Amino acid sequence: DVKVTQSSRYLVKRTGEKVFLECVQDMDHENMFWYRQDPGLGLRLIYFSYDVKMKEKGDIPEGYSVSREKKERFSLILESASTNQTSMYLCASSSGHLTPKRDGYTFGSGTRLTVV
Amino acid sequence: AQKITQTQPGMFVQEKEAVTLDCTYDTSDQSYGLFWYKQPSSGEMIFLIYQGSYDEQNATEGRYSLNFQKARKSANLVISASQLGDSAMYFCAMRERLTGANNLFFGTGTRLTVIP
């Protein structure tokens, strides 16, 4: 069964801490994404990557960075966590086809991060 | 401007009845794809159905069908014979060729509650 795995389901961190959210996919997908989900705002794209060591900013990259050293792993980094980064974080992956593809994305189960 | 608009924050439906969840989109691209995802309380995003902009027939997947009206830029999800397990958040999303294959734009979601 193909999947996207996020390392933590729930996380509590203190303000100012450096936080790593890990995501691993086993589908050999080229593209990987990080979204945050907030009530009333839907899912907003933070960063995405279309290849190893490549990254692109999404709609809300401020306060975040990413790392993709291996094809299967995409890490989201909060350099100095703040309370307004308390949210649900969803990782997703997709194949590299340029035309809209039926299967869309495969999502992980999400990490609910609380910054206190 | 919002690319995806879901105007129903919450919907209720009686078990075994049909329900329509609204979605309108905004794009100048001729080639795009529309997706619906279900998110139960567990947090995972589950792909339900896909409609390509060039598809002439409305997409169907079991109890799910997509009422695609291209001129009106709407892509409503119809769930027939609702079940208690259908209670969840539902997100409409779009991918455009213009912005590359690398981004899904999501609506703010509709929370569906199925009443026994």
Token pair listed for B65 = 């069908």
Residue ranges of A 4-33 with Cβ closer than 8 A to chain B: 31, 33
More confidently predicted of B39 and B2: B39
Interchain pair B93, A92: CB under 8 A = no
Q: Which residues contact A36 (CB under 8 A, 6 or more apart)?
A: A43, A44, A46, A60, A87, A88, A89, A90
Q: What is the pLDDT of residues B27-40, one digit of tens each?
A: 988 888 899 999 99
Helix (H) or strand (E) holding B114: strand B110-115
Predicted confidence at residue B99, as pLDDT, reads 56
Shortest distance between the Cα of B64 and any Cα of chain A, in A, equals 15
Neighboring chain B residues of A92 at a CB cutoff of 8 Å? 45, 104
Token pair listed for B89 = 């958040």
Interchain pair A42, B107: CB under 8 A = yes
Mean pLDDT, rounded, for B9-15: 96
| Residue corresponding to tokens 């980094």 | A77
Interchain pair B42, A90: CB under 8 A = no
Interchain pair B53, A31: CB under 8 A = no
Predicted confidence at residue B38, as pLDDT, reads 96
Mean pLDDT, rounded, for A18-30: 93
Mean pLDDT, rounded, for A35-45: 92
Helix (H) or strand (E) holding B111: strand B110-115
pLDDT at A76 over 60: yes
Interchain pair B31, A94: CB under 8 A = no
Helix (H) or strand (E) holding B34: strand B32-39
Q: How many CB pairs under 8 A join A and B?
A: 81
Interchain pair B47, A103: CB under 8 A = yes
Shortest distance between the Cα of B113 and any Cα of chain A, in A, equals 16
Q: Which residues contact B57 (CB under 8 A, 6 or more apart)?
A: none
